[in-house]
Chains A and B, each alone.
Chain A
């Protein structure tokens, strides 16, 4: 039986009125003046030896047809016995093609282009974890920095 451990629990009650302000985005150092998509917030996952592939929920996929270029900043402080695959597809049904693969820890910058090259992507972008037949684990975060587009960008919840 597959065993998945997702230790990123979801929300707690927000409590009350008069919520305080969060730090102003205008004060952000990273990506100041540049659009940043939190493709995947910090997430730790792990599983046993019989786990199959783990795929990002569809609501979090990037529908990036308006972008000719994406720079992905992947922070991976821990990865063991699995591969993080960034893959894309022209349609939501697939087929999905690997655009980049991450198998080691570190800060990994990936450039994806819809115009071809080594890391080519088409319309939809998602991540997939491909575990080995061993106990595995990963902790990672991915931010996407879209390149210039000629049309209004289409990013956010995917409409199926």
Chain B
């Protein structure tokens, strides 16, 4: 049973014109998962066009972020991603201490995105 279910990102839509390369979630909304051993990211993405929604994490402030999953138009819809802190895990499945979302937009085109993210956490 989950210890916490967090609205990682409530329903949000973005639209950007040519030349806009993307956005990063506000830092004060990144999720600190250090108290938990596993997590499931539930992504709902009914609209995505000319951009990629990246769920990524890092363990150290200022450290490099590892991509956990990247949603594109071909992979949009409802997606679940399982992350855990203990081995065995793949590089993308290891639960990071900090999790955030980032949008990579196609600067050569207008892009659109509408999504919601839940995070189910377990100690």
Contacts and interface: CB of A to CB of B under 8 A. Distances in A.
B4 A12 contact: no
B29 A23 contact: yes
B2 A22 contact: no
For chain A, the bracket of interface size reads 20 to 34
B interface majority secondary structure: strand
B114 A7 contact: yes
B98 A14 contact: no
Contact of B17 (A16, A22, A77): A77
Given A12-B116, A15-B5, A16-B3, A29 B27 contact: yes
A139 B16 contact: yes
B74 interface: no
Contact of A22 (B5, B28, B110, B118): B28
For chain B, the bracket of interface size reads 35 or more
Contact of B28 (A17, A23, A42, A78): A23
B15 A21 contact: no
Contacts of B32: 20-24
Interface string A1-36: 000000111111111111111111101111000000
A105 interface: yes
A77 B15 CA distance: 7
A44 interface: yes
A20 B4 contact: yes
Contact of B98 (A8, A18, A23, A78): A23
